[in-house]
Amino acid sequence: MKSLAQRRRHPLAAVALILLALLITGTLYAVASAANAAQASQSREAYSAQDVNNGQKLFVANCASCHGTSAKGTSAGPSLVGVGAASVDFQVGTGRMPLAQQGPQAQKKPVQFDDAQIRQLAAYVASLGAGPAVPSAAELDTSKGDAAKGGELFRVNCAMCHNAAAAGGALTRGKFAPALAGVSEKHIYEAMVTGPQNMPVFNNSNISPEEKRNLITFLKTIEQQGSPGGADLGSLGPVSEGLFAWVAGLGVIIAFTIWLTSRSS
């Protein structure tokens, strides 16, 4: 025991502990990097060299003025290295990119490229570095999702910005969370994994692929149900409903008062 205590007090013991910690940290980082590289290579394998080449030409012609010819960003646009194919598919597939004009956030508008061109742009950006891939059909299969569990996830993680009925809502400085009705399953999934505009990134550590599918199932379920209770008043909740009640109630009272005074005269 005495010799063990002496070794613990050895001046090189602290150095040995630091080296051991660095070795463990480096090993874990290497494993994580290998996993990310494998994921990136899998996403790139879905694209041919021709897709990447055509995508680069489209990028230089339509995107390089903001993002730079090497996609490393400029003062007018961020770097796209490592954002992944999913980010391109979402931004270009919803018409937000190419950007029409600078503003608080990119607005959804008519799509300017066809599906093949969007795929080629995604292939080029995916070739620049590891990033989220476009989701597979299995990940988007809402027939296997649980709407009830998805509703719980939505209320905990999304409702504070997108509204409990997914009708969207205002944020600070002219920004907003858009309504989610009519948004495709693929674009909802891509928004979660890439975090466009002001949205946080929900990677698989935060919300698993199965939970993402449940959440999408919930959104599609309430979209199909519509408003069974009658007029939804924009789905803005008790504020709009209370305002409508006051305006309608006061209107009826005023109309009734006018009718009474006209009768008495």
* 249 within a domain of the structure (yes/no): no
Q: Structure pTM?
A: 0.72
Asked if residue 123 and residue 36 are part of one domain, the reply reads yes
Q: Look at the chain and report how many structural domains it folds into.
A: 2
113 with 180: CB under 8 angstroms?
A: no
State the pLDDT at residue 115. 95
- pLDDT tens digit sequence for 95-147: 999 988 888 899 999 999 999 999 999 999 999 998 999 999 999 999 999 99
In a domain, 39, yes or no: yes
- Residue 10 among known ligand-binding residues: no
pLDDT at 25 > cutoff 60 = yes
First vs last Cα of the chain: how many Å apart?
110
Across 228-238, average pLDDT: 60
Do 186 and 146 share a structural domain?
yes
Instruction: From 119, 134, 149, give the residue that closes a domain.
Output: 134
The answer on 5 and 118 residing in a single domain is yes
| DSSP sequence for 246-265 | HHHHHHHHHHHHHHHHHHH-
Question: Is 66 labelled a binding residue?
Answer: yes
Q: Are residue 42 and residue 90 in the same domain, yes or no?
A: yes
Distance, CA of 191 to CA of 27 (rounded, Å): 32
Give the CATH number, domain containing residue 44. Answer: 1.10.760
Same domain flag for 26 and 55: yes
In the predicted structure, residue 39 carries a pLDDT above the cut 70? no
Which CATH number goes with the domain that contains 143? Answer: 1.10.760.10
For residue 243, what pLDDT is reported? Answer: 77
Q: Is the pLDDT of residue 218 over 80?
A: yes
Same domain, 127 and 24: yes
Query: Which tokens is 226 given?
Result: 């519509």
- Nearest to 113, CA basis, from 52, 73, 55, 67: 55
Domain presence at residue 4: yes
Whether residue 171 is annotated as binding a ligand: the answer is: no
3-state secondary structure of 158: coil
Does 255 fall in a domain?
Answer: no
Element (H, E) at 117: helix 115-126
Confidence of residue 228 (pLDDT cuts 50, 70, 90): low
- Tokens of residue 208, six digits: 């698993």
In a domain, 236, yes or no: no
pLDDT at 34 over 60: no
Average of per-residue pLDDT across 189-212: 94
User: Which residues fall within 8 angstroms of residue 133, CB to CB, at 6 or more apart?
Assistant: 39, 40, 42, 43, 46, 84, 85, 86, 126
Domain that holds residue 21: 1-134
pLDDT of residue 43: 45
Average confidence score pLDDT of the chain:
85
Query: Per the domain annotation, does 99 fall within a domain?
Result: yes
CA–CA distance, 91 with 107 (Å, rounded to integer): 10
- The response to whether 162 counts as a known ligand-binding position is yes
In a shared domain, residues 83 and 126? yes
Q: Which residues does 106 contact at the CB level (< 8 Å), separation at least 6?
A: 91, 96, 97, 99, 196, 197
Considering the domain architecture, whether residues 102 and 148 belong to the same structural domain is answered as no
In a domain, 252, yes or no: no
The span from the CA of 142 to the CA of 213, in Å, is 6
Q: Are residues 130 and 157 in the same domain?
A: no
What percent of the chain clears pLDDT 90, i.e. is strictly above it?
Answer: 55
Rounded-to-integer distance, Cα 209 and Cα 189, Å: 9
Q: Does residue 70 sit in the same domain as residue 147?
A: no
Q: Which of 89, 105, 134 is the last residue of a domain?
A: 134
26 and 110 fall within a common domain: yes
User: Does the residue 194 lie in any domain?
Assistant: yes
